[in-house]
A and B are shown apart, each in its own frame.
Chain A
C-alpha cells in the first residue's frame, strides 16, 4: 500500500474509532468531574479537577442518613442492583447455554421428526422484537406470581437468548466431525464420556461465544427489567440507574460513573474472550 493511501486510511479509521468511542470517553470524563465542572461552558474533555466522589458514593454509600419520610438515596442501592444484574445475567446464561448445548447436540446427532425445522424456527423466534412478547410474558409472570422476582427476569432473558444460543451451538456442532465421537465409542467411552471429554472441549469456542452473547443481552436489557420489576432492591442496574434522574434534575456524575462501572465487567470479559467469540461465530458461518 502506498504511504499516502495508508495515511488517509488510518486517518479515516482513527476518526471513526474516536466517534464510536466518544460516548464512553465522555462518560469516563464526566464521572471524574466535580459537579460544577460538569456543566461548565465551554466543556472540558479532560477534567481539570479529578474527583472520585461519584464512584465513592456508588460503591460505599452516600453516608446520608434518611430523613424521616424520605427514602434511602438511590445511589445506596447501586451494589444491590449490580448484584441483581450479575445474578440474572449469569443465571439466564447458565440455563440458556445448558439447554442450547444439549438441544443442539441432539439436533445434530439423533434423528427425529422435525429435527431440521427446529433451528430455523428458533432463529425465526429470535427475530421477533421482544417488545411484542414482553406484555404477554408479564401477564404470565403475574399468573405465576413471579413478578418483581429475579427469577422472572431470568426466565425472560432465557426466552430472548435461548433461540440464538441454540442456533449458534447447532451450527457449531454441525462442524464437529462425528468420526471423533465414533472413535471414542470404539475406544470404549460411554455416550456421556464422549460428550464430556470429546465433544464439549471441541465445542468450547462455540459455548464461550454463545455465553458472551447471552451475558451481554441480559446485562444490557432495560425493557424486561422495567416491566417485570418494581421494588427498588430488586431492580437490575439498567433500570436502577434511571433513578438518578428524579424528574427535575439528573445527577450526571452518578449516572456516568454507573455507566462506566456497568461497562467494565463486559469490557473485561470481552477482552479475555474475544478470540473465542470470533472462532465461535466463524464456525457457524462456515458450516451453517
Chain B
C-alpha cells in the first residue's frame, strides 16, 4: 500500500498561480478528500498527482518512488473522471479491460478480471452495451469498474458523483465508502460538496486559492476550524461569524458583553464564530445574550432557522426546534453557547482560541 507525499508543489497557468508551494501527505490506505470552492486548485492538484499536468515546482512521491516526471501510465494509478470519460466506441467489457489490454494482460486473465469487477459492481448484464446505452448511474459504475480492474496503488476521483441525481448520489456515497473499506486502496477524492467530504473521508483537506487551509478528520475540520475560511466553508447552515471587540479582557459583541475565557494577548478586534446549532433564543436582558430583532424565519424540516439582526447588517442565525415560534421584527436575544465559541483574528484569519471540545 502506498502513501502520497506532495512537497512544495506549485502550478501556474501563465501568470495565474493555481497552487502555491503546497505540502500534503495522504497516508496509505486512507480516503482523503480535497474539499474547496471552484477554482481553489483541488482538481489541478489531483491532475498533477495523476500526471495529466506538469508541476511548475515541487515533487510528488508515491511511497519512496518519485513520480512527478513519470507519464500517467507509469504511475499505477486509476482515475474516475467527473464526466466518467468512458470510451464511446468500446463496449462496457472493453472499457473495463482497456487498461489491462494496453498492458498486454492475456485475454483469459483479462476476461476473468473483468468478470470479477462486474460481479462486485453488479454490472455483469451490461458488459456488451456501449456507454451511450447506459444510465448515469450505470456509467458511473463502469467508470469505477475501469479503475478497479487494474488493482492500482492509488485511486484518484474527480467529483465522480456530481452528475448524479441526489438520491443516486446518496446511494453511491455509501457504496464508494464500502468499496474503499473492502479494497483498502489509498484514495484521493476531489469534491466541492462538503456532505460528501464529511461522510466518506478519513481525512479532509480544505483548500482555498491554491493553499491548504486545514487538514484533519471530518470532526476536526467541522468542530475546530483552523481559520475563518474553513469556519465559513464547512457546515450547513454556515457558522455565524460576528465582528466583536475585546476590552479589558472582556469580549463584547454588538455592545453586549459575553463571559468567555480569552487567551492573553488576544487582539482588540476579533471575529466570533458560533454554529447556528450552538445558538439559543433568549429574552432581551438575559445575561450573556445579544439583543436584536428577528429578520428572517425559515423552516428546514425538523428545525427552524431564525436570523436575528443584532446590529446594522450584522445577523446571527440560530437553529432551533421547528416548534419554536418567532415573527418578523420580534424583539429577541440570542445566546451563543460559551462552550462552542471560536475566536478568530480578522487580520490573519487564524483561530485565536476555541472553547469547543
Contacts and interface: CB of A to CB of B under 8 A. Distances in A.
Q: Do chains A and B interact in one complex?
A: yes
A179 B83 CA distance: 8
Contacts of A190: 73, 102
A188 B89 contact: no
A186 B78 contact: yes
Contact of B98 (A177, A184, A202): A184
B85 A187 contact: no
B83 A177 contact: yes
B73 A180 contact: no
Given A185-B52, A186-B73, A186-B78, A180 B87 contact: yes
Contacts of B86: 180, 183
B98 A186 contact: no
A44 interface: no
B52 A187 contact: no
Which label, helix, strand, loop or mixed, suits the secondary structure of the A interface?
Answer: helix
A186 B89 contact: no
A182 B98 contact: no
A265 interface: no
Contacts of A187: 73, 78, 98-99, 102, 146, 150
A114 B194 CA distance: 42
B85 A188 contact: no
A88 to B, nearest CB: 32
A53 B242 CA distance: 99
A189 interface: yes
A202 B88 contact: yes
Contacts of A14: none
Interface residues of A, number: 17
A241 B83 CA distance: 55
Interface string A178-201: 011011111111100100001001
Contacts of B229: none
B102 A183 contact: no
Contacts of B51: 185-186
Nearest to A188: B73
A106 B268 CA distance: 59
Contacts of A193: 102
B73 A183 contact: no
Interface string A36-57: 0000000000000000000000
Interface in B310-357: none
Given A193-B102, A201-B89, A202-B89, A185 B83 contact: no
B102 A188 contact: yes
Contacts of B150: 187
B102 A186 contact: no
Interface string B292-322: 0000000000000000000000000000000
A177 B89 CA distance: 13
Interface of A: 177, 179-180, 182-190, 193, 198, 201-202, 204
17 contacts: A177-B83, A179-B82, A180-B85, A180-B86, A180-B87, A182-B52, A182-B81, A182-B85, A183-B81, A183-B86, A184-B98, A186-B79, A187-B102, A188-B73, A188-B99, A189-B73, A201-B89
Given A190-B73, A193-B102, 7 more contacts: A179-B82, A183-B81, A184-B87, A186-B52, A188-B102, A198-B89, A202-B88
